Amino acid sequence: MHIIGVYNIKGGVGKTATAVNLAYLAARQGYRTLIWDLDPQAAATFYFRIQPKVKGSKNKLIAGKVDLDKVVKATDFENLDMLPADFSYRNMDLRLEVAKKPTKQLLSLLRPLSHSYDYVFLDCPPSISLVSENIFRAAEGLLLPMIPTTLSLRTYKQLLDFLEGHRITGLEIMPFFSMVDRRKRMHLDVMESLQASSGELLKAQIPYASDVEKMGIHRMPVEAFAPRSFAASAYQALWMDVQERLR
Amino acid sequence: MALNAISYLLPEGLDLGGLKKILAESNHFSEDAPVTVKQTYYDSFDWRIWQAGGELVHGLDQPNQLCWMDRKKFSVVVCQGVDSTPGFADDIPDGPLADRLTAVLAMRVLLPKVNIIQKKHTLRILDSEEKTVVRVVLEKNRYTAVRGKQKGELEGRVVLKPLKGYEDQFFKFKQQLAALKLRPAEQSLYEDALVGIGQKPGDYSSKLNYRLDPDAPADATARQIMIGLLNTLEANISGTKANLDSEFLHDLRVATRRTRSAMSQIKGVFDPQQLEPFKQGFGWIGKVTGETRDLDVYLLHYPDFRAGLPKVIQDDLDPFHTFLQQHHKKAQAELVKKINSPHFRKTLKAWRSWLQSSPTKSGHAPNASRATAQLADQRISKLYKRVLKNGLAIGPDSPAEQLHDLRKQCKKLRYLMEFFQSLYPKPAIREPIKALKIILDNLGEFQDLEVQAQSLEDFGDQMLKEGAPASSLMAMGILVGQLLEKQVQAREAFVELFAGFSNESNRQAFRKLFGGA
C-alpha cells in the first residue's frame, strides 16, 4: 500500500483537485484506491457527491475505536473508495494531542487497510499542525502543489525546515507547479528560478484551467467529464511522474 | 462484512427491456452507454482452478485484467493486469494473483475453456445528490467455443452490485427485484457457458476413481478399469503432442504404467496369450515416451538444482539448461513421430476393441468369473505379504537392487489398492494407501537420485563433446555430489520408515481390510 499525502501550508493551491484527479487515475489503472478527505471543508467529499459525515469521528476515530473499513464509501468509480470528511476534523489536533503516540495515530489507523488498497491519497488540510505531522509520518510520498509565486517558495522552505527540525526522513517530497498561468511574467520567472535549483521538482505542471474549476459543477474528476482537455492530460502526466518517483 | 454482487435470472414473460421500464417507474437512475466485452475463462486441463473453488476470467471489466472469482459466491477475489494471454503461472507478473496461481497450478499451463461475449448496460441508481448508490447491470450473454464452432445465447442476467457504504440501498433494491419475481442464479455464467459447449467442469482427473461392483465377475471389472485407463491415456495425447505442459505426458505415462500393472497384477482373468501382444504394445509406449519425460523432470528440477549451488557458481550451470532444452526439443519431435505412427494408433485401437468385445471363455483364465471383491482381497494380501517379507529383509548393507525391486512391488500394490479402493470402506482404505505412499516416496527418492546423478554424469560427457565450458562441468560435478549425498540420507531413512510401515497396528489394518497376512 502506497500512502501519498497532498499538502501545502497554504490553502487554495489546487490540493484537493490534485488528490481527486490522481486518485481517479490510479483507480482507472486498476489499482484499488482510497482517498481520505482530512480537510473539514470537505471539498473532495463534495466532488464525489458523498455526505460529509463519518459516524463516530468525533470521539472514537482517533481513539482507534472506529473500524475505518466500516466508514468507507464507494465513489461512483470502480476501484475508488473514499473516507469522507467530517466537520469534527477541525478539532482533530486537540484529539491527537491527548492520544498515545500523537504523531503516529494516522499510520496506525491506516495499517489495517493495507491489504485492501494499493494506493491511499490523503487530502490534507492547510497549516502545519499535529495532523500534518501525522500525515508526514504516515506517507511514503508528499505531493506539494505550488503556485509559482515568491510566497509559495517561502512556504516550501518553511516546510523543508519543519521536516528537518522534526527529523522526518524517508519521505519522498514531490513539489510541482499548480495553477500555472503562462501569461503571467512572474509565474514564468519563479518557475525558471526554481527549476534550476530544485532537483525534487516534478516535471509535470497543472495549468490554471477552467476545466479544473468546473469539477465543482460536474462534481467529478476532470478526466471523467473532459478526458481530452488540457487539464486532464496535465494530471495524467503528473500521475506518471509520481509513479516513476515512487518506483 | 463486504456484500457480494447478486446475479439474477428473469421470470417468464419479462425481458431486460421490460424490466428497465418497470424500474424507471419507481427509481431515479442514470444509464451508462452499453458496452460489449469479451471474456475468456481459463483453467488447467485437469481443472485445478475449479477444484480450488475458483473461476479465472480474462477481460472481466478491462481487456487486460485477469481475475480470480469465488465460484460459490460469484464474487471477485483478486484481479491483476497481465500483458499477454495467460499461460504458466510463472509468466504472470508478480502479485497476489500470481502467488495464488503458482500454488494452485504448479507446472500446469492455463488453457482457454470458453468465451463469453457480454453486452452490458449499467443502470446507476442515484440518491438526491446524484450519487450512485447501487449498480444494476443488464447483461445479454453469448458463449462461443474456443475451438470449434459451438456458440449460442445464454439466458439474460441482471446483476445487482453493492457499493461500499450504501448497504441499506442495496437491500432495498434487492427486495424490489424479489417482488418482481427475479430469482438468484444458481450457477455462474461460466457454468452456463460450459453447459452450452457440452463440457463439465472437473470432467478430467488423473486420479483413479472407479465405482466397482464387488460381485461382478473379475474379468468384467478388469476391463472396466482398463477402459478407464485407456480413456485417460487418450485424453492426454493431443496435449502431449503439442507439449502444452509436462503433465500431459506424465499422465499418459502413468496411465500406461497402470495398464501394464493391471495386466500383470489382476491375475488369471484373461487368456495370457491374448494379452501378450498388448503387453508388448504398452511396453513399447512406455519405452518411447521415456526420454522426453526424463528431460521434463530435469527441466522441472532445474530451478532447484541451480538454487542449491553456491551463488557465485549458479550462472555456470546455465549451459546445462540450454543442453536440456535442446535435447528436449529433439526428444519431443521424436516422441511426436512415435505417437503419430500407425503402430501407436493401432495398438490403442486394437486394445479398445479387445476391451469392448465380449469376453471369450478360456480355460487359461481361471479367475475370470470369480467375484471381484474376492480376487481383490486375494491379490492385495498376497502382494502385501511379499512387500512385507522383502522390505524386512533389507538391512543397512543390502544392495541397492533390493530396494529397487521393493519399489516395483510397492508400486504394484499401490495401484491394486487404488484400482479397487471403492470396494473398501473409504476412511479405512485411505490409511494403508497413505502408509504405502510414505515408503514409495522414500524408495522413489533413493532410486531417482541415483539415476539423476548417473544421468548428470552422462550429460556432462555429452556436453564435453559438444564443447561446454569446464566451469559448467564443475558446477554439475558439485550437483552430482549433492544428489548422492541426499541419496545416502534417503537410504538411511528407509529402515526406520519401513519399520513404521510394518508395525503391528498397520499389519492389523491390512489384515482387517484384505484378510490373510
pLDDT digits (tens, 9 = 90+) for A133-173: 889 989 999 999 999 998 888 888 888 899 888 888 889 99
Q: Would you state the pLDDT for residue B4?
A: 85
- Closest-CA distance, A125 to chain B, in angstroms, reads 24
| 3 state SS of B123 | strand
Q: Are strands B75-81 and B65-70 parallel, antiparallel or unpaired?
A: antiparallel
Contact A71 B164 (CB under 8 A): no
Residue A180: pLDDT band by 50, 70, 90 thresholds? very high
List A83's β-bridge partners, or say none.
Answer: A36
CB A50 within 8 A of CB A82: yes
Residues of B in contact with A81 (CB under 8 A): 164-165
Residue A58: pLDDT band by 50, 70, 90 thresholds? low
* B192: its cell numbers: 452456463
CB A1 within 8 A of CB A119: yes
Q: Would you state the pLDDT for residue B1?
A: 52
Q: Does A63 touch chain B (CB under 8 A)?
A: no
Do B346 and B220 lie in a common domain? yes
Question: Has the ipTM of the complex gone over 0.85?
Answer: no
Average pLDDT over residues B96-108: 93
Single residue among B135, B168, B196 that ends a domain in this structure? B196
Share of chain A above pLDDT 90, in %: 53
**What is the domain count for chain A?**
1
Do B348 and B227 lie in a common domain? yes
Average pLDDT over residues B204-226: 92
**3-state helix/strand/coil string of B243-268:** CCCHHHHHHHHHHHHHHHHHHHHCCC
Q: Would you state the pLDDT for residue A130?
A: 86
Spatial separation of the C-alpha atoms in residues B442 and B498, rounded to whole Å? 10
The better pLDDT of the pair B44, A98 is held by B44
Do B120 and B180 lie in a common domain? yes
Is residue B1 a part of any domain in this protein?
A: no
Single residue among B196, B231, B253 that ends a domain in this structure? B196
* Placement of cell 460529509 in the chain: A52
A59 pLDDT more than 90: no
Rounded to a whole number, what is the distance in angstroms from the first to the last CA of chain A? 13
B312 pLDDT more than 90: yes
Average pLDDT over residues B119-148: 93
A229 pLDDT more than 80: yes
Spatial separation of the C-alpha atoms in residues B179 and B227, rounded to whole Å? 52
We report the CATH number of the domain holding residue B509 as: 1.40.20.10
| 3 state SS of B115 | strand
Share of chain B above pLDDT 90, in %: 80
Single residue among B196, B231, B264 that ends a domain in this structure? B196
Is residue B366 a part of any domain in this protein?
A: no
Contacts of B15-20 with C-beta under 8 Å, sequence gap 24+, read B15/B156, B16/B121, B16/B138, B16/B140, B16/B156, B16/B158, B19/B138, B19/B158, B19/B180, B19/B182, B20/B123, B20/B138
Is residue B115 a part of any domain in this protein?
A: yes
Contact A76 B132 (CB under 8 A): yes
* Cα–Cα separations (whole angstroms), residue A145 to A152, A157, A180, B42: 9, 14, 10, 45
Q: Would you state the pLDDT for residue A168?
A: 86
Do B47 and B108 lie in a common domain? yes
Q: Would you state the pLDDT for residue B345?
A: 96
Q: Mean pLDDT for chain A?
A: 89
Spatial separation of the C-alpha atoms in residues B140 and B415, rounded to whole Å? 49
Do B276 and B180 lie in a common domain? no
CB-nearest partner of B166 from A48, A71, A74: A74
Candidates B339, B375, B104; CA nearest to B238 is: B339
Residues of B in contact with A80 (CB under 8 A): none
B117 pLDDT more than 80: yes
Do B134 and B97 lie in a common domain? yes
Span A6-55, pLDDT tens digits: 999 888 899 999 999 999 999 988 788 999 999 989 999 999 999 998 88
Contact B166 A72 (CB under 8 A): no
Is residue B103 a part of any domain in this protein?
A: yes
Q: Would you state the pLDDT for residue B517?
A: 46
Average pLDDT over residues B245-267: 96
Q: Are strands B157-162 and B6-9 parallel, antiparallel or unpaired?
A: antiparallel
Contacting residues for B393 by C-beta, under 8 A, at least 6 apart: B402
Rounded to 5 degrees, φ, ψ at B474 are: -70, -40
- Closest-CA distance, A45 to chain B, in angstroms, reads 11
Do B279 and B378 lie in a common domain? no
- Closest-CA distance, B59 to chain A, in angstroms, reads 12
Contact B61 A78 (CB under 8 A): yes
Q: Would you state the pLDDT for residue B363?
A: 66
Contact A74 B164 (CB under 8 A): yes
* Placement of cell 468507507 in the chain: A72
Q: Does A51 touch chain B (CB under 8 A)?
A: yes
Contacting residues for B24 by C-beta, under 8 A, at least 6 apart: none
* Domain encompassing residue A62: 2-246
A64 pLDDT more than 90: no
* B509: its cell numbers: 489394518
Do B417 and B491 lie in a common domain? yes
Is residue B310 a part of any domain in this protein?
A: no
Q: Would you state the pLDDT for residue A196?
A: 67
Candidates B195, B219, B224, B187; CA nearest to B209 is: B224
Q: Mean pLDDT for chain B?
A: 93
Q: Are strands B6-9 and A2-6 parallel, antiparallel or unpaired?
A: unpaired
Q: Is A235 exposed, middle or buried (0-12, 13-18, 19+ CB in 10 A)?
A: buried
Candidates A212, A246, A239; CA nearest to A25 is: A239
Spatial separation of the C-alpha atoms in residues B220 and B318, rounded to whole Å? 52
Contacting residues for B448 by C-beta, under 8 A, at least 6 apart: none
List B183's β-bridge partners, or say none.
Answer: B9
Rounded to a whole number, what is the distance in angstroms from the first to the last CA of chain B? 57
- DSSP string covering B345-406, please? HHHHHHHHHHHHSPPPP-TT-TTTTSBHHHHHHHHHHHHHHHHHHHHHT--TT--HHHHHHH
Contacting residues for B120 by C-beta, under 8 A, at least 6 apart: B34, B35, B36, B37, B137, B138, B139, B140
**What is the domain count for chain B?**
3
Nearest CA in chain B to A70: B165
Q: Are strands A119-123 and A2-6 parallel, antiparallel or unpaired?
A: parallel
Rounded to 5 degrees, φ, ψ at A195 are: -55, -35
Task: Enter the pTM of the model.
Answer: 0.81
B245 pLDDT more than 60: yes
Do B103 and B219 lie in a common domain? no
Residue B364: pLDDT band by 50, 70, 90 thresholds? confident
Contact B62 A73 (CB under 8 A): no
Q: Would you state the pLDDT for residue A100?
A: 78
Neighbours of B489 (CB within 10 A): 11
Do B131 and B215 lie in a common domain? no
Average pLDDT over residues B167-178: 93
Candidates B361, B365, B298, B352; CA nearest to B326 is: B298
Is residue B144 a part of any domain in this protein?
A: yes
Contact B62 A74 (CB under 8 A): no
CB pairs under 8 A between A and B: 30
Q: Does A67 touch chain B (CB under 8 A)?
A: no
Spatial separation of the C-alpha atoms in residues A66 and A69, rounded to whole Å? 9
Do B16 and B158 lie in a common domain? yes
* Cα–Cα separations (whole angstroms), residue B151 to A186, B43, B200: 66, 20, 16
Residues of B in contact with A76 (CB under 8 A): 124, 131-132
* Domain encompassing residue B290: 206-304+317-361
Question: How big is chain A by its Cα radius of gyration, in Å?
Answer: 17
Contacting residues for A216 by C-beta, under 8 A, at least 6 apart: A46, A47
Is residue B309 a part of any domain in this protein?
A: no
Do B10 and B157 lie in a common domain? yes
Is residue B311 a part of any domain in this protein?
A: no
Average pLDDT over residues B220-234: 96
Span B389-416, pLDDT tens digits: 999 999 888 999 999 999 999 999 999 9
A97 pLDDT more than 80: no
DSSP assignment letter at A63: T
Contacting residues for B34 by C-beta, under 8 A, at least 6 apart: B119, B120, B121
Span B35-88, pLDDT tens digits: 999 999 999 999 999 999 999 999 987 788 899 999 888 888 888 888 889 999
Q: Would you state the pLDDT for residue B125?
A: 94
Q: Would you state the pLDDT for residue B361?
A: 64
Residues of A in contact with B132 (CB under 8 A): 76
Q: Does A114 touch chain B (CB under 8 A)?
A: no
Residues of B in contact with A52 (CB under 8 A): none
We report the CATH number of the domain holding residue A162 as: 3.40.50.300
